[in-house]
Amino acid sequence: MIDFLLPSLGADMDVAKLNCWLVKPGDTVHKGQIIAEVETEKATLEVECWHDGVIEELLVEPGPARLPVGTLLARIRSLDEAAQPLAPHEPPAELVTTPPAEPMHEVSAQPPPPVRHLAHELGVDLAALGGSGPDGAITRDDVRRAARAPTPETAVPFVSRPTRVRATPRARSLARSRGIDLADLPATGPQGMVSAGDVERTARPPEIIDEPEDKVSAMRRAIARSMSHSKREIPHYYLATTIDLDRSVKWLEAANEERPVTQRILPAALLIKATALAAREVPEVNGHWVGDGFAPAPSVHLGVAISIREGGLVAPALHDADHLSLDELMSRLRDLVNRARSWRLKSSEMSDPTITMTNLGDRGVETAFPVIIPPQVAMVGFGRVVDKPVAVNGRVLVHPVVTASLAADHRVTDGHRGGLFLASIDRLLQEPENL
């Protein structure tokens, strides 16, 4: 059984309201499918499911309650479980696995001594395990899997459970989703276990948002929190360079001449692709500051700052931007901008950016001085493309140029690496046909 938790929703976004479910118990779901809609201060987000399976139960009702990231929203039975209940399966790395078991498995007979011994060695609580063996018996494989899986405390950090309390799985789920310590509850269930009813009766009423607030004010507050965090915590350094865009502009004009308006490529697509490729070349700018160290990201999910007409901005990710062709990139960018401006983004787009770029060229400014979006460690800015005199092979020519700037986290990189990153962007823009 897979616990479906409220995923991370982006920088400094730690609560959301559940607007609606798009699935019901018994529905088959697929990896990448949108199964719920939640609302944060910055956007209405479509929450994706990251597993194939069947919805076992939905544990949270849509409503105004503010749910912390990590809240248990639903339980999903994996397809393996449905088809072959005895086959062992790897637990998903990032999620808590809970037993594919009878609701009252804790009352079943004790596992044989070798299993108990292994559980003791690995520090696994047998009372919390479901068995995949005959008649739900716990096997050594079950114990090993449980030892490898992240503990509920890791995945849902707001739950504090120092001692193991006997409780039904449903009660555990409910308690976890509401941040309640089972140890605090009266146990009136069978065999002296805490039942779901015990949790329901004790549950604090969910925190209700006092008054509906307009989206723009909420977004402003979210930006204030994120940017204050950034300026307080991140020692920024700034670099800028002027990039000759003559080749890129000419190449783009020729390419667009052949294309209908529906397939036209904007200069921003070239800048995005060059930035994403450069981030792959200089991996120290692509990733997150986690705890007290830098965690490089294995992929380049380029956040794109998109201004909202009513005010504010969001910076959702173009996933794997370094691997997209310019046509794919342009079509994804159009889709992303349109959805951002109609407040409809996916949760992964808000949580995944590994580096962000802002393009303020349309607003007339020549140079941007970006503020890094935590926990990212770099942000790239592009200004307006302007015609300027440039020296080319000893002659002065007028070429379109753009100022590319970098704000980077000095805890992770120094000016030298930052300079190499901007130089990579420059070099890549000199060969637009290879982007």
Partner 1 sequence: MNTQEARQVIFEVLGDIAPEVDPSIVDDDLDLTEQLDLDSMDYLNWMVGINEVTGIDIPQRDVSRFLTIAGAVGYIVEHSS
How many residues are present in the chain? Answer: 435
**Binding residue for partner 1, selected from 259, 344, 410, 411, defined by CB under 8 A:** 259
Q: Which is nearer to partner 1, 11 or 368 (CB)?
A: 368
Shortest CB 383 distance to partner 1, Å: 13
**Binding residue for partner 1, selected from 31, 164, 250, 363, defined by CB under 8 A:** 363
Q: Which is nearer to partner 1, 31 or 334 (CB)?
A: 334
Q: For residues 372 and 235, give the distance between their C-alpha atoms in angstroms, rounded to a whole number.
A: 10
Q: Which is nearer to partner 1, 260 or 394 (CB)?
A: 260
Both tokens of 147, joined, read: 């030892």
Q: Are the C-beta atoms of 295 and 315 separated by less than 8 Å?
A: no
Both tokens of 82, joined, read: 């449905």
Shortest CB 367 distance to partner 1, Å: 18
214 binds partner 1, rule: CB under 8 A:
no
Shortest CB 44 distance to partner 1, Å: 17
333 binds partner 1, rule: CB under 8 A:
yes
268 binds partner 1, rule: CB under 8 A:
yes
Both tokens of 255, joined, read: 């390419």
148 binds partner 1, rule: CB under 8 A:
no
Shortest CB 396 distance to partner 1, Å: 27
What angle is formed at CA 40 by the lines to CA 39 and CA 44, rounded to 5 degrees? Answer: 45
Give the closest residue to 163 by CA, choosing from 177, 182, 149, 148.
Answer: 182
Cα dihedral across residues 310, 231, 155, 88: positive or negative: positive
Shortest CB 242 distance to partner 1, Å: 20
Give the closest residue to 57 by CA, choosing from 74, 33, 34.
Answer: 74
309 binds partner 1, rule: CB under 8 A:
yes
Q: Which is nearer to partner 1, 152 or 267 (CB)?
A: 267
As to burial, measured by CB atoms within 10 angstroms (0-12 exposed, 13-18 middle, 19+ buried), residue 106 is buried
54 binds partner 1, rule: CB under 8 A:
no
**Binding residue for partner 1, selected from 253, 291, 393, 395, defined by CB under 8 A:** 253
Q: Are the C-beta atoms of 275 and 303 separated by less than 8 Å?
A: no
**Binding residue for partner 1, selected from 338, 389, 392, 415, defined by CB under 8 A:** 338
202 binds partner 1, rule: CB under 8 A:
no
Shortest CB 328 distance to partner 1, Å: 16
**Binding residue for partner 1, selected from 120, 164, 231, 334, defined by CB under 8 A:** 334
Q: Which is nearer to partner 1, 308 or 423 (CB)?
A: 308
Q: Are the C-beta atoms of 228 and 403 separated by less than 8 Å?
A: no
Shortest CB 365 distance to partner 1, Å: 13
* Cα-based distances in Å from 316 to 310, 340, 374: 17, 8, 13
344 binds partner 1, rule: CB under 8 A:
no
267 binds partner 1, rule: CB under 8 A:
yes
Shortest CB 260 distance to partner 1, Å: 5
The 3-state DSSP class for residue 433 equals helix
The neighbour count for residue 358, using CB atoms within 10 Å, is 23
In degrees to the nearest 10, what's the CA dihedral of 341, 347, 348, 349? 10
In degrees to the nearest 10, what's the CA dihedral of 216, 217, 220, 224? -170
**Binding residue for partner 1, selected from 162, 192, 205, 260, defined by CB under 8 A:** 260
Shortest CB 302 distance to partner 1, Å: 16
Site for partner 1 in 379-418 (CB under 8 A): none
What's the DSSP call for residue 207?
A: P
Shortest CB 435 distance to partner 1, Å: 18
264 binds partner 1, rule: CB under 8 A:
yes
117 binds partner 1, rule: CB under 8 A:
no
Q: Is it true that the peptide bond before 113 is cis, omega within 30 degrees of 0?
A: no
Q: Are the C-beta atoms of 222 and 343 separated by less than 8 Å?
A: no
Burial 269-292 (b: 16+ CB within 10 A, else e): bbbbbbbbbbbebbbbbbbbbeee
Shortest CB 26 distance to partner 1, Å: 38
Q: For residues 9 and 227, give the distance between their C-alpha atoms in angstroms, rounded to a whole number.
A: 16
Q: Which is nearer to partner 1, 33 or 307 (CB)?
A: 307
Q: Which residues are within 8 A (CB) of 393 and not within 5 positions of it... i.e. 6 or more apart?
A: none
Q: Which is nearer to partner 1, 125 or 362 (CB)?
A: 362
Give the closest residue to 96 by CA, choosing from 118, 76, 68.
Answer: 76
19 binds partner 1, rule: CB under 8 A:
no
Note the residues at the interface with partner 1 (CB under 8 A): 253, 256-257, 259-262, 264, 266-268, 307, 309-310, 333-334, 337-338, 361-363
